[in-house]
Structure 1
Amino acid sequence: MKKILLYWLPVFLWMGIIFYASSQPYEKQDLRPTLSANLDLTIIETLFSSVELHYAGDEISVEALGAAHFLEFFIRKAAHFITYFVLGFLMYRALKHYLLNNRSTWLIAWFMTILYAISDEIHQGFTPNRSPHIEDVMIDATGGLIGILLASIIYRKIRTKKI
């Protein structure tokens, strides 16, 4: 029971935080007013005026979105990556105590992380003013994979030191 709490409780708490964040309508998470009030956005306009990319069918540029929304886009995508980096790390950590094969551990951890990312995007589809994007799942999957690989390296080093 102690092992379950030690290794799985962080996973489920983190999943709960993700679920809660996905339950919030966009208006409650809108960073644009805070960014506009606290940053000199002319720097963003100057540095990134020539940057234009397309994401989920939308143009992402300072010209199309404005500086605050452009910056918020990258903050939100970084949050996706970091959130699932942590989930992947925690998932690997929990599974490592049940599976002896390192490859199985990281494959199952990554699969479970991706499944949760997919379910999170579906959940966002039912949240007011939020929309699911397969591109977000890809960012989440990449963050999860990097977190899992880091955990794998750390556990390998710990295991080597014990020997």
Structure 2
Amino acid sequence: MKQFTWYWLPVLLVAGGIFYSSATPYKQQDMRPTLSRFLNHEKLAGFFSSVSFQYAGSEVSVDALGAAGFVEFFIRKAAHFSVYFLLAFLLFRALRFYFSKGKTVLFSFVFTVAYAASDEIHQHFTSGRSPHVEDVMIDACGGAAGILIALLLYRRYFRRNT
């Protein structure tokens, strides 16, 4: 029971948090009104006026999204990266007791990417949300980084079963 609580409960809590977030309509998660109160729109527009790129078929720029929408885009993508970083790290931490190092890396990564893909499918059924393959790619990069950090930390501090 101690092993479940210490190693698996954090994995389930993070996965549950991701599921809950995906089930929340965009209207309830919209950060733009709050960001608008704190951002200097003119300064931000001037500083990032030359930044423009395509993401999931839409233009990402201050002109296209407004200052608050532009900042929100990067906050959301950083959240994707960091939450899947944490999920993969915690998965590695839990799975290392059951498998060799190579299999632990593989299973941690495969589960993380599979969960990211299922999360995007789940978003398809949530009001105001849409699935994007690009988000799964960001999630996979976050997961890979989490596993890499876990490998380095566990190799350095916990030589047992890694």
* TM-score using structure 1 length: 0.95
2:144 equivalent to 1:132? no
User: 1:1-163 maps to which residues of 2 (within 5 A)?
Assistant: 1-99=1-99, 101-160=100-159
User: Is the deviation greater in 68-77 or in 33-42?
Assistant: 33-42
Distance 1:76 1:43 in 2: 21
The ranges of structure 1 where at least 4 consecutive aligned residues each deviate by more than 2 angstroms after the TM superposition are none
Q: Structure 2: which 5+ runs fail to align?
A: none
Question: 1-side partners of 2:159 and 2:98: how far apart?
Answer: 19
Task: Using the TM superposition, give the Cα deviation of residue 98 of structure 1 relative to its aligned residue in structure 2, in angstroms.
Answer: 1.2
Counterparts of 1:8 and 1:113 in 2: how far apart (Å)?
Answer: 14
Structure 1, unaligned stretches of length 5 or more? Answer: none
The one-letter code matched in structure 1 to 2:146 is G
Aligned-pair CA distance for 1:71: 0.9
C-alpha distance in 1, partners of 2:68/2:98? 46
How many residues get paired?
160
Amino acid corresponding to residue 81 of structure 1 in structure 2 = F
Whole-angstrom CA distance in 1 between matches of 2:4 and 2:129: 34
> Alignment identity in percent?
56
CA distance in 1, matches of 2:146, 2:105: 10
TM-score when normalising by structure 2: 0.95
* Partner SS for 1:59: strand
